[in-house]
Amino acid sequence: MKVLISDSLSEEGVSKLQEHFNVDVSTGLSEDELVEKIVDFDALVIRSGTQVTKKVIEAADNLKIVGRAGVGVDNIDIDAATEKGIIVVNAPEGNMLSAAEHTIAMMMSMARNIPQANASLKAKKWERKNFMGVEVNGKTLGVIGLGRIGAEVAKRAQGMEMDILGYDPFVTEERAKSMGVELTTVDDIAKRADFITVHTPLTKETRNILDAAQFDMMKGNARVINCARGGIINEEALADALKAGKIAGAAIDVFTSEPPFDCPFIDLDNVIVTPHLGASTEEAQVNVAVSVAEEVISVLNGGSARNT
Ligand code: NAD
Ligand code: MLT
């Protein structure tokens, strides 16, 4: 059996697969190169770099499984895969703590202007008065999407004495209560929260869940965070709100188009950005690689998959 790994994958995952299969690691392939290469592979293992399009699926005559070493499967044409009987698995738990920690890091960095102050001092300036921050203690954090990562963010923010508002149509009052979260609407979060963080998948319901109407409702000192998927917060509306001083800041890890060099807010001083680093820790990358390798081994050996 042959396994193609088309994005960089932690060594622990690669060697696990090599124990069972003939493994080819070829990263940075264009769609056409992948279409040409995929023909006789039984499994394809990817991260977020590879786009598994309909064209790729159609060319994949032997493919039985696509393994996504991470959470989001938005870079895979699931309908085309399902139509061809190809199993799609992800690694839903391996990077959740890293993504939650990155969210908290982004919130704190934004609250205390750490990236801006770091850049200023390295440019040999001593500008203490330009970088007055805010405490998070006693502030309200709105969490939109209370799944694995949202719940971990809420837990960590409570450790810093923040009050948590939450919105998630699939979470019961009972579950929210057990998390110490007050369930409410997106608009109520927009009106009341000092910090708002989104942790949903990107779907037609969540696209632009924070848009111009919500920015108009926000407090002038509100700050928003997106470590989930580009497009959940409308990028144009966010840029307008930041430029008009309707909100105080934003911390963004993910973008509608990556790399986001044409993004409308990337150059603004009241925005901090990271290049999709939510899952970029040694621990998370080992976890997701091993998890996906185990799924591929199971499926190619005739077993079942856990995370379809
Ligand atoms: P999850 O499936 O555990 O949780 C998602 C939550 O969103 C669920 O509770 C679901 O009920 C909720 N939801 C769905 N539709 C909703 C809606 N219309 N309104 C409000 N809530 C809604 O997923 P997760 O593991 O917590 O991941 C959350 C997001 O983070 C995903 O988009 C994932 O791709 C992304 N992610 C990003 C990074 C990164 O590197 N920045 C790393 C890991 C995950
Ligand atoms: C994910 O969905 O797991 C994240 O976007 C992280 C990643 O793939 O690197």
Nearest to 224 by CA among 249, 260, 205: 249
pLDDT category at 217 given cuts 50, 70, 90 is: very high
pLDDT for residue 291: 98
On average, the pLDDT of the chain sits at 98
Nearest to 197 by CA among 242, 166, 218, 170: 166
Which member of 101, 102, 229, 295 is catalytic? 229
d(C-alpha 173, C-alpha 184), whole Å: 10
Q: Which ligand is nearest the CA of 274, by number?
A: 1
CA dihedral 97, 102, 105, 106 (to 10 degrees): -140
pLDDT category at 116 given cuts 50, 70, 90 is: very high
Could you say which DSSP state residue 247 is in?
S
Instruction: Tell me if 197 sits within 8 A of 225, measured CB to CB.
Output: yes
pLDDT digits (tens, 9 = 90+) for 28-51: 999 999 999 999 999 999 999 999
pLDDT for residue 108: 99
Q: Is 276 considered catalytic here?
A: yes
Q: Is 229 considered catalytic here?
A: yes
pLDDT category at 226 given cuts 50, 70, 90 is: very high
d(C-alpha 93, C-alpha 194), whole Å: 28
Cα(200) to centroid of ligand 1, in Å?
A: 3
Q: 96-111 vs 282-300: helix axis angle to the nearest 10?
A: 150
Cα(118) to centroid of ligand 1, in Å?
A: 31
Nearest to 254 by CA among 75, 45, 19, 28: 75
Side-by-side strand order, sheet with 22-25: 22-25, 2-5, 43-46, 65-68, 87-89
pLDDT digits (tens, 9 = 90+) for 134-171: 999 999 999 999 999 999 999 999 999 999 999 999 99
Instruction: Tell me if 148 sits within 8 A of 96, measured CB to CB.
Output: yes
Ligand 1, atom 37, lies closest to the CA of 228
Side-by-side strand order, sheet with 195-198: 181-183, 163-167, 140-144, 195-198, 223-226, 249-252, 271-273
* ipTM value for the complex: 0.99
Span 244-268, average pLDDT:
97
Distances (CA, A) of 25 to 4, 7, 48, 214: 6, 8, 15, 45
pLDDT category at 26 given cuts 50, 70, 90 is: very high
Task: Tell whether ligand 2 has an atom less than 6 A from the beta carbon of residue 48.
Answer: yes
Q: What share of the chain has pLDDT > 70, as a percent?
A: 100
Ligand 1, atom 44, lies closest to the CA of 71
Q: What is the 3-state secondary structure (H, E, C) of 172-236?
A: CHHHHHHCCEEECCHHHHHHHCCEEEECCCCCCCCCCCECHHHHHHCCCCCEEEECCCCCCECHH
Q: What share of the chain has pLDDT > 90, as a percent?
A: 100
pLDDT digits (tens, 9 = 90+) for 130-143: 999 999 999 999 99
**From the alpha carbon of 167, which atom of ligand 1 is closest?**
20
| Residues 6+ away with beta carbon under 8 Å from 189 | 142, 144, 165, 166, 167, 196
**DSSP helix/strand/coil, 255:** coil
**From the alpha carbon of 93, which atom of ligand 1 is closest?**
25
Which residues does a 6 A CB cutoff place in the pocket of ligand 1?
71-72, 92, 95-96, 99, 144-150, 167-170, 199-201, 203, 205-206, 227-229, 253-254, 276, 278-279
Span 261-273, average pLDDT:
97
d(C-alpha 130, C-alpha 133), whole Å: 9
Ligand 1, atom 9, lies closest to the CA of 147
Span 170-197, average pLDDT:
98
In single-letter form, the type of residue at position 92 comes to P
Strand 249-252 and strand 181-183: pairing?
unpaired
